[in-house]
Amino acid sequence: MRHIPLGVTFSLILVLNALSLKTYAGELNQDSTAVFGDYTVHYSAFNSTFLLPDIAAAYDLVRAKDQTLLNITVQDKNGKSIDAKLDGYAQNLMQQKKVIAFKTIKEPHAVYSIGALRITNEEVFNFVITITPENTTPFTLKFTRKLYVE
């Protein structure tokens, strides 16, 4: 694990983002958890400028007004965060697809998959993410979000 300045971990930043961004992202009435058999998937989308510069730099994440980050965490039936392969894309209302490349961040008690997406203000995207936990049949997470430039 990389050294994070001021003792701040990525998980703390993501928890704070999840709590503070629900209102900003208009997600109060939208699901951010999905269950697929023995697996629970937690997901969120937030503007990359909400990450502190030191945290973004430590994990090689770009901060930009027009960049949204997707955070996806997969848990097993015991609630343990597990590693999984993620492939996916976002499709806007004009049917334009943008492939999302995910990066895995592993911490002692959590595993996150982070993907980046450039957006325009108030753009609506349909996300389709194929999730493949180790030695398991893949399943597909689908959700829609209206995203905002900071």
Structural domains in the chain, CATH included, are: 5-147 (2.60.40.3340)
Q: What's the mean pLDDT in 67-71?
A: 96
104 close to 113: Cβ distance less than 8 angstroms: yes
Position 112 pLDDT exceeds 60: yes
- Whole-model pTM: value is 0.81
Of 94, 86, 88, 87, residue with least CA distance to 120: 94
Provide the 3-class DSSP secondary structure of residue 7: helix
Provide the 3-class DSSP secondary structure of residue 2: coil
pLDDT in tens, 22-51: 434 444 456 799 999 999 999 999 999 999
Alpha carbons 48 and 128: distance in angstroms, whole number:
20
Q: What's the mean pLDDT in 95-113?
A: 95
